[in-house]
Amino acid sequence: MQEIIRAEDLRVRFIVRKRRASLFAPREKAVVEALRGVSFSVNAGEIVGYLGPNGAGKSTTVKCLSGILTPTSGTATVFSRVPWQERVAHVRKIGVVFGQRTQLWWDLPVQDSFDLLCDIYDLDKRAYAQTCRELVECMDIGDLLRTPVRQLSLGQRMRCDLVASLLHRPRILFLDEPTIGLDAVSKLSLRAFIRDLNREQGVTVLLTTHDMDDVEALCRRVLLIGRGRLLLDGSLDDLRRLAGGKRVCRAQVRKADFPLPPGAALRSRRGEEAEIEFDPETLAADQLVLHLARTAGLRDVQIQPPSLDETMAALYRQMGEVEG
Amino acid sequence: MRAMRTYFALALSDVRSQMQHRASFVLQTIGNFVASLMDALGIAALFASFGALQGWSLYEVAVLYGIVNLSFALAEALGRGFGEFARVIREGNFDRLLLRPRATLFQVLASRLEVSRLGRLLQGAGMLALGLAGLPEPLHLWQGLLLAVCVLGGVLLFLGLLLLQASACFWTLESLEVFNILTYGGIQAAAYPLDIYKKWLRDFFLYIVPLGSLNYLPSAVLFGKDLPFPVWSAYLAPLAGAAFLALGILAWRAGVRRYRSSGS
Q: What are the phi and psi torsion angles at A300 (to 5°)?
A: -150, 150
Q: Check whether residue A155 and residue A234 sit in a common domain.
A: yes
Rounded (5°) CA angle A150-A155-A156: 55
**Which chain B positions have a beta carbon within 8 Å of A69's beta carbon?**
260-261, 263
Residue-level pLDDT at A190:
93
For chain A positions 80-99, those within 8 Å of chain B (CB to CB) are: 84, 87-89, 91-92, 96, 98
Position A318 in a domain: no
Least confident among A68-72, A309-313, B144-148, B206-210: A309-313
Q: Nearest-CA neighbor of B206 among B142, B160, B157?
A: B157
Does A312 reside within a domain?
no
Contact of A302 with chain B, judged by CB distance below 8 Å, is answered with: no
pLDDT of residue A321: 61
CA distance B108 to B84: 10
Based on the domain organization, do A197 and A225 belong to the same domain?
yes
Residue A112, chain B, CB below 8 Å: the answer is: yes
Structural domain including A260 reads 246-304
Domain boundary among A217, A241, A265: A241
pLDDT tens digits along A221-272: 999 998 899 999 999 888 888 887 788 899 999 988 888 888 888 888 888 8
More confident residue, B59 or B234: B59
Do A200 and A70 reside in the same domain of the chain?
yes
Q: Are residues A261 and A120 in the same domain?
A: no
Residue B178 one-letter amino acid:
V
What tens digit of pLDDT does each residue of B115-141 get?
888 888 999 999 999 999 988 888 888
Residues of B in contact with A70 (CB under 8 A): 260-261
B262: Cβ contacts below 8 Å, ≥ 6 apart: A14, A15
Domain span including residue B80: 2-262
- Which residues in A lie closer than 8 A to residue B99 (C-beta atoms)? 66-68, 91, 96, 103
B108: closest CA of chain A, how far (Å): 13
Closest CA to A221 of A161, A229, A230: A230
Does B4 contact chain A (CB < 8 Å)?
no
pLDDT value, residue A127: 96
Co-location of A182 and A201 in the same domain:
yes
B101/A88 CB distance under 8 A: yes
Q: For testing the chain B interface, which of A88, A97, A128, A168 should be mutated: the one with the most B CBs within 10 Å?
A: A88
User: Does A72 touch chain B if contact means CB atoms closer than 8 Å?
Assistant: yes
In a shared domain, residues A217 and A253: no
- Other Cβ atoms less than 10 A from the Cβ of A38: the count is 24
Provide the shortest C-alpha distance from residue A275 to chain B (in Å): 45
Percent of chain A scoring above 70 in pLDDT: 98
Of A80, A88, A83, A75, nearest to A37 by C-alpha is A75
**Nearest CA to CA, how far is B118 from chain A (Å)?**
22
Q: Give the H or E element holding residue A275.
A: strand A273-278
Task: Indicate whether A115 belongs to any domain.
Answer: yes
CA distance B147 to B215: 8
User: Is residue A311 one of the residues assigned to a domain?
Assistant: no
Q: Verify whether the Cβ–Cβ distance A101 to B100 is below 8 Å.
A: no
A9 and A156 share a domain? yes
Looking at residue A324, its pLDDT comes to 43
Distance from CA of A138 to the nearest CA of B (A): 24
Determine contact: B17 vs chain A, CB below 8 A: yes
- Here the contacts of B132-136 (C-beta below 8 Å, separation 24 or greater) are B132/B59, B132/B63, B133/B59, B134/B57, B134/B58, B134/B59, B134/B62, B135/B59, B135/B60, B135/B63, B135/B223
CA distance B20 to chain A (A): 9
Instruction: Out of B6, B13, B263, name the one closest to residue A108 (CB).
Output: B13
Question: Domain count of chain B?
Answer: 1
Closest CA relative to residue A263, chosen from A274, A248, A278, A275 = A278
- For chain A, give the percent of residues with pLDDT over 90: 61
Q: Indicate the residue of A70, A88, A101 with minimum beta-carbon distance to B260.
A: A70
pLDDT digits (tens, 9 = 90+) for A28-61: 788 889 999 999 999 999 999 999 888 889 999 9
Range from A1-10, B87-96, B230-239 carrying the lowest mean pLDDT: B230-239
Q: Across the interface, do A88 and B103 touch by the CB < 8 Å criterion?
A: yes
Residue A285 sits in the same domain as residue A150 = no
Of the given ranges (A4-8, A164-168, A313-317, B71-75), which has the lowest mean pLDDT?
A313-317
User: B263 falls in which pLDDT band (50, 70, 90)?
Assistant: low
Question: Is it the case that residue B250 has pLDDT exceeding 90?
Answer: yes
Note whether A176 and A260 are same-domain residues: no
d(CA A322, CA B73): 61
Instruction: State which of A24-28, A99-103, A161-165, B213-217 shows the largest mean pLDDT.
Output: A161-165
Which pLDDT value is given to residue A24? Answer: 74
Cα–Cα distance measured from residue B18 to residue A102, given in angstroms and rounded to the nearest whole number: 20
Q: Which of A59, A116, A118, A167 to mutate to test the interface with B (most CBs of B within 10 A)?
A: A116
Interface ipTM: 0.86
- The CATH number that applies at residue A88 is 3.40.50.300
Residues A251, A237, single domain; the answer is: no
Average pLDDT, chain B: 89
Strand order in the sheet with A247-253: A264-270, A273-278, A247-253, A298-304
Which of A224, A241, A258 delimits the end of a domain? Answer: A241
Q: How many separate domains does chain A show?
A: 2
**Helical H segments across A148-283, by residue range:** 154-166, 184-201, 212-218, 236-242
pLDDT band at B70 (very low <50, low <70, confident <90, very high): very high
Same domain, A281 and A236: no
Q: Does A147 lie in the same domain as A40?
A: yes
Question: Which chain B residues contact residue A112 at CB under 8 A?
Answer: 13, 16
In a domain, A229, yes or no: yes
